[in-house]
């Protein structure tokens, strides 16, 4: 049961050996490792070629720089001979045995379309595990969990999962976006026909706040994310069920965005105007109210229909908390 591992590579010369070695040394051997040199200006391309010479499971693709989504999209057609697909970022690395555990479960449970596992957040010499409890969710339960964003929620990151081919057939990442995983994950869960299962194993090591990484910023620009969501709604034109899921994702991302802007001094004044038009768009479309408690439903309605008044109260409350 061949597993395709897609690895976009760009300016990670210091980390690349650790990443590739952790994949090729997995006890599960039936792999197709697709290394995409995204026009890296350092020695990454040559390192990739060296691995292809040494291991027949490695396929190297070289391309002009186009970003993470572009590199993943180039690799996807080369996974046609693989019933399973996963992703690894080239500055991260795997724990030994994770693919054996994951694929063994999928072989024993054909009803599972997507399998997830936990990860370690690594910053310097410090590491903290992020795990979900072991559980199996139906397609609809998985979609709700993905959107709920509570402590048991499924995360957006595509590298924390293995997909059966059907779940991602025909899907691509929006190029030029910094938040490509969010919509891709939503579409994969929506398109899947089987269950989601979570293994309570930290199988992936995620390097956070690496210098130059897109996550290393306090107030991220989320306009790409909302553009991704709008584009996905257009792709599913006429599918009102998908629109409800996508609009709920937009609503929750806006809610978290404005909470951050209210907490950080000066951020609201500088950034809020960028997102108020998206609030107006979300307000005009249905969303999945059953995901929220009665009190949060009321807050969300106030946020959507009187955003500036509601947020003025939140800003005042946040300012008062900072003083005390």
Question: Strand pairing of 3-9 and 84-87?
Answer: parallel
Quickly name the fold that domain 3-207 has: Spore Coat Polysaccharide Biosynthesis Protein SpsA; Chain A (3.90.550)
Mean pLDDT over 45-68 rounds to 98
Q: What is the rounded distance in angstroms from the CA atom of residue 7 to the CA atom of residue 47?
A: 13
The Cα–Cα gap between 252 and 119 comes to 23
> What tokens appear for 313 in the block?
């109260």
- pLDDT for 148: 83
Q: What is the mean pLDDT of the chain?
A: 92
pLDDT digits (tens, 9 = 90+) for 211-233: 545 444 467 899 999 999 999 99
- The pLDDT confidence band at residue 321, using thresholds 50, 70 and 90, is low
Look at residue 261 in the predicted model and tell me its pLDDT.
87
Q: Which token pair is 190?
A: 């929506």
Q: Specify the pTM.
A: 0.91
Q: What is the mean pLDDT of residues 19-27?
A: 98
Using the predicted structure, report yes or no on whether residue 36 has a pLDDT greater than 60.
yes
Q: What is the pLDDT of residue 149?
A: 64
Using DSSP's 3-state secondary structure scheme, residue 149 falls into coil
pLDDT tens figures, 222-281: 999 999 999 999 999 999 999 999 999 999 999 989 888 888 888 888 998 999 999 999
Q: What is the pLDDT of residue 37?
A: 98
In the chain, where the domains are located: 3-207, 223-323
- More confident: 153 or 57: 57
Q: Residue 194's pLDDT band (boundaries 50, 70, 90)?
A: very high
């Amino acid at each position: 049961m061949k597993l395709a591992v897609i690895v976009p590579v760009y300016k990670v010369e210091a980390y690349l050996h650790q990443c590739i070695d952790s994949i090729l040394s997995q006890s599960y051997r039936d792999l197709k490792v697709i290394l995409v040199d995204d026009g890296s200006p350092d020695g990454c391309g040559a390192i990739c070629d060296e691995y292809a010479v040494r291991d027949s499971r490695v396929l190297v693709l070289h391309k002009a720089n186009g970003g993470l989504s572009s590199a993943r999209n180039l690799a996807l057609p080369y996974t046609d001979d693989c019933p399973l697909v996963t992703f690894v970022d080239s500055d991260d690395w795997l724990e030994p045995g994770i693919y054996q555990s994951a694929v063994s479960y999928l072989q024993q449970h054909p009803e599972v379309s997507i399998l997830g596992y936990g990860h370690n957040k690594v910053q310097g010499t410090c590491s903290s595990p992020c795990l979900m409890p072991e559980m199996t969710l139906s397609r609809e339960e998985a979609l709700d969990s993905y959107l709920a964003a509570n402590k048991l929620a499924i995360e957006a990151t595509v590298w924390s999962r293995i997909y059966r081919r059907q779940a991602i057939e025909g899907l691509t990442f929006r190029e030029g976006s910094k938040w490509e995983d969010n919509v891709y994950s939503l579409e994969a869960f929506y398109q899947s026909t089987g269950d989601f299962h979570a293994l309570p194993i930290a199988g992936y090591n995620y390097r956070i706040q690496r210098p130059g990484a897109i996550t290393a910023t306090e107030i991220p620009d989320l306009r790409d994310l909302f553009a991704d969501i709008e584009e996905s709604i257009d792709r599913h034109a006429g599918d009102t069920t998908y629109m409800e899921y996508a609009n709920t994702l937009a609503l929750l991302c806006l809610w978290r965005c404005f909470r951050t802007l209210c907490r950080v001094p000066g951020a609201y004044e500088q950034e809020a105007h960028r997102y108020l038009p998206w609030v107006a768009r979300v307000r005009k479309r249905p969303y999945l109210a059953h995901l929220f408690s009665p009190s949060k439903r009321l807050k969300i309605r106030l946020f959507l229909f009187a955003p500036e008044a509601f947020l003025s109260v939140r800003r005042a409350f946040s300012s008062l908390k900072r003083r005390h």
